Structure 1
Amino acid sequence: MQAEEKESAGKLRHVVIFKFKDSATPQDIKKVEEAFGELPKKISQIKEYEWGTNNSPEMFAKGFTHCFLVTFASEEDRAAYLPHPEHVKFVELLGPYLEEAFVIDYWAK
């Protein structure tokens, strides 16, 4: 993608979808939800944040229950976010409860 296309798109979306281990309790999952929700307050590169749980009537979720959408203004912002100490701390908290994750990034059109 050309630099001017990236800039005109303006929003780099980082979609993160979680499947939790069967052993993860509702309290464990709530702790993860709350910790992820704190990241926008701690990492200035996050421009927008939202999340929710799956409620699709289609049967394609494959056990994935939680979707988080993090928006960045640039690839440089995303590059700063990934190794950010607060993000690393969150990933460490998540680890014991996570069965599988699916991540996809795209420039919004």
Structure 2
Amino acid sequence: MARIILLQFAAAFLVALVASLVSGLSAGISALLGGLCCAIPNAFFALRLLSSTRKPGGSPMNFFIGEFIKIAMNIALFGAVIMFYPDLNWLAFIAAFIVVLKSYLILLFRQ
């Protein structure tokens, strides 16, 4: 699970670097923010799952609560970026979010 989270953060920084080289600093920052909007909630969700599996008698409800918190964090981070970063490049932002969201496929098909 830690490899997937590290891969997502690495993908966010890599997409931000590519976006800044191709389209400038504003696109790079937008891509970084988009990638982090996906990677940070996923990291919290992974930590929640990890902590709930160590307790005996864990409930499946913990998974659903964690998923709800992850989605709420995604929405909150999207809103914060939209409000506080006026030079947002939407294409870079959404593209980075999707790349980080699907980056687990790299590890899935690796072995």
Instruction: Normalising by structure 2, report the TM-score.
Output: 0.31
More strand by share: 1
Normalising by structure 1, we get a TM-score of: 0.31
Higher helix share: 2
